[in-house]
Structure 1
Amino acid sequence: MSLKFWHQSVNELSRIEAYKRGIEAHAGAFLGAEAEVHVHGMPEGTYGTQSPSDALGNAYLYHRVLSPIVEQAVEAERQGYDAFVIGSFSEPYLREMRTAVDIPVVSLTEAALLTGCALGGQIGLISNAPNVAFMTRLSVAKHHLEARVLDVTALSPGMDEYQLIAARDEPSALIEAFKTEARVLIGRGAEVIVPAEGVMAEILAREGLKTIDGATVIDVFAAAWSQALGLVRMRKAGMGTSRAWLYSRG
């Protein structure tokens, strides 16, 4: 039997259905029969008239909107999923989820950073908008990887999730804007480039953007699902989440 991964987006997927379909198609092509990826999103109306990129920059709104995701991880374990993937660079409640469940909890941010460390020396991250870049900088610091991250920047001008999904069928301008920002980072010494936002990353992966001027462009979904596969195998071999200190269950 293939493994089952619960992939949790923080987007209202009913508003960007093409993103959900894109992740599912990508997972099918990348994982084959190894694992099924079931994509979940936030309830319709979660963000009102705002985009997630705009709303989640507010700490109170972030807490109120995203704290229920911890219970989603609990539900995934209860339903027999083998791993829970946080499909967001806002990386909500990672520590809390790892203390709540025994199945592996994987973050796009952490998986991309750790994969980047194996593929090059200095990592450059490009977000879709300044708010997301700010949250991503906090995640880099949380993982104590500042020495390996050259910078976290954003597209100029920034684009929210709905602008990105509108560009999905004609992505050439988005790709050029991303390449322009990437080349600045590469000129400063970046060897690995991370698209640090899910909708943008899905488009770039679908378009096959794997290198820019010799620098590797990380497919963040492939990195996360690969880490999930490895952690599931480690757990089956008796090496699961530590219960000493950071992820202690008390």
Structure 2
Amino acid sequence: MRLWFQKHTVAGRLPLLDKWYDDHLAALVSPGTTVDIHTLPEGTYGDDTPFDLVGFGNLALRFNGYFGETALTAEREGYDAWIIAAGQDPGLREARTLAAIPALGYTETATFLAAMQNHRFGVLGFMPKLREPITDNIVRQGLRHLLADYQIADDGAEAVRRALDGDFTLFLDSFTRAAQKAVDAGAQLLIPAEGIPNEIFWHLGIHELHGVPVVDPAGLAVKTAELLVQLRDLRIFTRTGAGYWFRRPEPHISEHVERVFQGHLIGRA
């Protein structure tokens, strides 16, 4: 089984983070499963940690289209499933429309499993501007009643930056305090809002705070992808091809439209 794991970062900018992802995913996949980590094109960002760029829906629409196309590429290259490993699940709807292989989202997988078990969850983040799209997704999914709290860790961005340099003191302090507030608000599970804190938690071996489980959304998405592929192969549960968003045209029609728009500049003949 081959899984395409799509990150919202550029490879090589943060070597320690790259290693954490490699070690993390290698530790949990089943025998016979390979996970290939894919990142954004070199030059997408001018900074190693471009946290401010994720706060604009204007830019998100462009990333959504790109990520959706990566799912289609994954299908054409023989991958069995595609995962978007970013908290706001960018491009997930586009991926499910463009590709027929299972497509999973980082946060959606965690919140849906919490809902299946009827657990209230608290979200722990460090990017204030992502609270809106992530909360909007939870509301759209019909799970607002299970969202006990959404905490932004104090000095969270600086705490993450230091952790990426190997200093975890501020991270542990700020996220532990945020977790306490979420638990006090009624959270029965804690879900890291972004992928980087999740990798820090995993690296540090933190799976519980204040007596409440800390979900590993990246690992959960990978294991759920394995399950969905197995269910598809067993004909227990498969993607539908009915309806506007899931009905697919003949391949030659899709390929023609791709050729028409590829490299075309709006306003030019």
Partner of 1:211: 208
Once the 2 structures are TM-superposed, how far is the Cα of residue 213 of structure 1 from its aligned partner?
1.9
1:180 aligns to 2:177 (yes or no):
yes
Q: How does 1:96-245 map to 2 (within 5 A)?
A: 96-118=94-116, 121-159=119-157, 164-168=160-164, 169-238=166-235, 239-245=237-243
**Residue 14 of structure 1 aligns to a residue in which SS?**
coil
Q: TM-score when scaled to structure 2?
A: 0.85
**Residue 25 of structure 1 aligns to a residue in which SS?**
helix
Mind listing any 5+ residue stretches in structure 2 that lack a counterpart? 249-269
| d(CA) in 1 for partners of 2:222, 2:100 | 17
**Residue 67 of structure 1 aligns to a residue in which SS?**
helix
Larger Rg computed on CA atoms:
2
| d(CA) in 1 for partners of 2:109, 2:230 | 16
Once the 2 structures are TM-superposed, how far is the Cα of residue 66 of structure 1 from its aligned partner?
3.9
Once the 2 structures are TM-superposed, how far is the Cα of residue 41 of structure 1 from its aligned partner?
0.8
In the alignment of these two chains, the number of paired residues is 246
Q: How does 1:59-98 map to 2 (within 5 A)?
A: 59-98=57-96
Report the residue type matching 2:197 in the other structure. Answer: M
Report runs of 4+ in structure 1 exceeding 4 Å deviation: 49-52
Once the 2 structures are TM-superposed, how far is the Cα of residue 143 of structure 1 from its aligned partner?
1.5
Once the 2 structures are TM-superposed, how far is the Cα of residue 205 of structure 1 from its aligned partner?
1.1
| d(CA) in 1 for partners of 2:32, 2:135 | 33
Q: Which has the higher contact order (CA 8 A, sep 6+)?
A: 1
| d(CA) in 2 for partners of 1:21, 1:246 | 41
Q: Identify the range of structure 1 (40-49 vs 98-107) with the bigger mean alpha-carbon deviation.
A: 40-49
| d(CA) in 2 for partners of 1:58, 1:50 | 18
212 and 119 in structure 1: CA distance in 2 versus 1, 3 angstrom threshold:
farther
Report the residue type matching 1:33 in the other structure. Answer: P
Mind listing any 5+ residue stretches in structure 1 that lack a counterpart? none
**Residue 167 of structure 1 aligns to a residue in which SS?**
helix
Q: TM-score when scaled to structure 1?
A: 0.91
244 and 228 in structure 1: CA distance in 2 versus 1, 3 angstrom threshold:
same
Percent identity of the aligned residues?
Answer: 27
8 Å CA contact retained: 1:120, 1:191: no
Once the 2 structures are TM-superposed, how far is the Cα of residue 56 of structure 1 from its aligned partner?
1.9
8 Å CA contact retained: 1:24, 1:38: no
Once the 2 structures are TM-superposed, how far is the Cα of residue 50 of structure 1 from its aligned partner?
8.4
131 and 216 in structure 1: CA distance in 2 versus 1, 3 angstrom threshold:
same
| d(CA) in 2 for partners of 1:50, 1:135 | 23
Once the 2 structures are TM-superposed, how far is the Cα of residue 120 of structure 1 from its aligned partner?
5.6
